[in-house]
């Protein structure tokens, strides 16, 4: 896959967004309309102090970030975007002390709206902890690079 | 103290901050729980680290989602008789307005509670309760494993 034309600009996202920086999120992969983010394990992510299981909200945060970044990576000229809605299904518990990776694909974009699918797991290739579907309002140039991305995430 | 004991204690003392204090991620984000006129409200104090868009600036959408989900869970535990921790099945968040760099409140209502599943609707606002910044519908599994 060709290097993303705005790779260096978009790669700054993880250090530019305060909450993402605070969580130590790293950019693992960035292609046209697709990205993968990694979030290292830390005790602050625990939702259930008895089991040590990850808080659903921590999963939401990582997935929302990956979704936003893949939309930016799908635009010809990345500009302001806003999340319209985000649905997350929690498939299994996230176990300590393991971090998460989230992959997100912008599989369609119109002039105004971007459509995204995402999933998060402990590591690439493992069964998902959560899957998600989101839509974004895009301002400026829509209809960009997302058309090149296969809607089947497994095939990407 | 076990989580179940903690829930019982929080309900007895009518102070769910005992619970948010015990949940690392809730404490990390600064999620609190306040009783106002007999109803339970979620409270998220503004902190710089919760910003997701420094240009606007606005709170991170994931933080808002986590706040809505936590408020829904506390509401369920608040009004249920058995002390257990509901498991989130799914959550659908609608982002309605930019969440500015200020304190945020949330209110949850249990739409339907069955033996195994509960549906909870939750809404968050900042300056004006009539102008929500986000809302969510959540499903929870109540049955033990």
CATH code of B25's domain? 3.10.129.10
Extract the residue ranges of chain A whose pLDDT is less than 70.
1-2, 140-156
Name the strand (E) or helix (H) holding B89. strand B87-95
- List the domain range (segments joined by +) for residue B75: 3-141
Total domain count for chain B? 1
Which pLDDT does position B140 carry in this prediction? 96
Which pLDDT does position B20 carry in this prediction? 87
Q: How confident is the model at residue B97 (pLDDT cuts 50, 70, 90)?
A: very high
Residue B39 has pLDDT above 80, yes or no: yes
Per-residue pLDDT tens digits for B52-90: 999 899 999 999 999 999 999 999 988 887 667 899 999
Q: Quick check: A63 and B50 CB within 8 A?
A: no
Q: Is B131 exposed, middle or buried (0-12, 13-18, 19+ CB in 10 A)?
A: exposed
Question: Is B65:A59 a contact under the CB 8 Å cutoff?
Answer: no
| Site from A9, A16, A19 to mutate, B interface, most B CB atoms within 10 angstroms | A19
What rounded mean pLDDT belongs to chain B? 92
Residue A89 touches chain B, beta carbons under 8 Å = yes
Which pLDDT does position B45 carry in this prediction? 96
Q: Is A82 exposed, middle or buried (0-12, 13-18, 19+ CB in 10 A)?
A: middle
Cβ-Cβ pairs closer than 8 A, A with B, add up to 121
Question: Domain ranges in chain A?
Answer: 7-155
Q: Which of residues 20-59 of A touch B (CB under 8 A)?
A: 20, 22, 43-50, 54-58
Residue B85 touches chain A, beta carbons under 8 Å = yes
CATH of domain A7-155: 3.10.129.10
Question: Is A68:A62 a contact under the CB 8 Å cutoff?
Answer: no
List the single range of A8-12, A111-115, B3-7, B124-128 with lowest mean pLDDT: B3-7
Higher pLDDT, A1 or B35: B35
């Amino acid at each position: 896959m060709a290097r993303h034309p705005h790779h260096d600009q978009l790669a700054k996202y993880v250090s530019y967004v305060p909450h993402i920086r605070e969580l130590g999120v790293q950019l693992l992969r960035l292609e046209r309309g697709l990205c993968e983010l990694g979030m290292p394990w830390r005790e602050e992510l625990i939702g259930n102090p008895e089991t040590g299981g990850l808080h659903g909200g921590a999963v939401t945060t990582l997935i929302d970030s990956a979704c936003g970044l893949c939309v930016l990576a799908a635009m010809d000229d990345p500009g302001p975007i806003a999340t319209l809605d985000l649905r997350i299904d929690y498939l299994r518990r996230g176990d300590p002390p393991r971090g998460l990776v989230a992959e997100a694909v912008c599989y369609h974009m119109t002039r105004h709206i971007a459509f995204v699918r995402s999933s998060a797991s402990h590591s690439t290739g493992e069964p998902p902890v959560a899957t998600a579907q989101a839509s974004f309002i895009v301002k400026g140039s829509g209809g960009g690079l997302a058309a090149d991305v296969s809607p089947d995430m497994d095939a990407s | 103290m076990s989580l179940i004991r903690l829930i019982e204690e929080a309900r007895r003392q009518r102070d769910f901050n005992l619970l948010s204090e015990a949940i690392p991620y809730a404490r990390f984000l600064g999620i609190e729980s306040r009783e106002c006129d007999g109803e339970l409200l979620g409270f998220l104090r503004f902190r710089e680290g919760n910003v997701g868009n420094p240009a606007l600036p606005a709170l991170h959408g994931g933080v808002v989602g986590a706040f809505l989900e936590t408020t829904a869970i506390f509401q369920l535990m608040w009004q249920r008789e058995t002390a257990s921790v509901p498991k989130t099945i799914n959550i659908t968040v609608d982002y309605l307005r930019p969440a500015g760099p200020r304190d945020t409140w949330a209110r949850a209502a249990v739409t339907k509670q069955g033996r195994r599943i509960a549906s909870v609707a939750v809404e968050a606002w900042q300056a004006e309760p009539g102008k929500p910044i986000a809302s969510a519908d959540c499903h929870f599994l109540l049955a033990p494993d």
